Amino acid sequence: MSELVIKNLHVSIAGKEVLKGLDLTVEQGKIHAIMGPNGTGKSTLAYTLMGHPHYKVTDGEIWFKGENVLELEADERSRLGLFLAFQYPVAIPGVTVANFLRSALNSRRRAENPDDKGISIPEFRKMLKEKMDLLKMDHNFAGRYLNDGFSGGEKKRAEILQMATLKPEIAILDETDSGLDIDALKIVADGVNRLRSPDRAMIVITHYQRLLDYIVPDYVHVLAHGRIVRSGGRELALELEERGYGWVKELAAEQNGSAGKGPDAARPGAAQPAEKGAAV
């Protein structure tokens, strides 16, 4: 199985370094939650993985399926199997959800085979209805303009529908719980859980443990001062809920102070399973 491997990643935006040597290995079939205080680089990591041009990689590597992801454009990364569900999806008036998804699918097919005439309308309609049924979505949703007039929950469900349609191998969910009430959160989380697969890894970025009540992660990583400073199982998210992020900032400061003093036996960012008996 393919892994997404991030090594010593340094990223700057507008001249300010945000990620400062981030290491992370994401295994196929696993859900990795990334938590941390505001401004620590969680969304920066998401946008960097997908190739946003405003984020400048100054050092480090990102590897997936034998490819150096940093050498690929955003559309090439998508075809390789990466997908990003945005924290704030953009509205596209005049373009229906169905037309958007069919165009995305056909663009992928033509990139692989210039002679491909694209998925037929009947075949696409059948496939889309199956995906919407899987996610318990009303079929009328497909005829609405993408994110135009959508509630927060509807925008996030549209992102999950895109994920179901494009079938990525690495799905990055950037604060999917942002702006959702508890009912909308449960609906969106149910959609995510229905797409869990041994062939798909997910990176779930969030501030709060409550999302992880519904999307139960295999691993939790804490990001602070631009690095992964602690990794563990679901119990780590519960610890953050109880103690807050103050101790995380202190831990990050200690690690930054000891950087360069030799190898660390428990390297931050390496996916460490929960202790035996812990809930994951």
pLDDT tens per residue, range 157-190: 999 999 999 999 999 999 988 888 899 899 999 9
**Proportion of the chain above pLDDT 70, given as a percent:** 91
DSSP 133-185: HHTT--GGGGGSEETTT--HHHHHHHHHHHHHHH--SEEEEESTTTT--HHHH
Tell me the Cα Rg of the chain. Answer: 19
Per DSSP, the three-state class of 261 is coil
175: left (phi over 0), alpha (psi -120 to 50) or beta: left
Distances (CA, A) of 145 to 24, 135, 151, 207: 37, 19, 13, 30
Strand order from edge to edge, sheet including 56-64: 16-27, 3-13, 56-64, 67-68
Residues 219-238 have pLDDT tens digits of: 999 998 899 999 999 999 98
pLDDT in tens, 30-71: 999 999 888 889 999 999 999 999 999 999 999 999 999 999
Is the entire prediction scored with pTM above 0.75?
yes
- Binned at pLDDT 50, 70 and 90, residue 253 comes out as confident
Domains of the chain: 3-82+169-178+200-258 (3.40.50.300)
Contact 165, 104 (CB under 8 A): yes
Alpha-carbon span 52 to 254, nearest angstrom: 31
Find out whether 240 and 34 touch, Cβ atoms under 8 Å.
no
Q: Can you read off the two tokens belonging to residue 121?
A: 């309308």
Of 50, 52, 128, residue with least CA distance to 96: 128
Model confidence at 140, pLDDT cuts 50, 70, 90, reads very high
170, β-bridge pairs? 82, 201
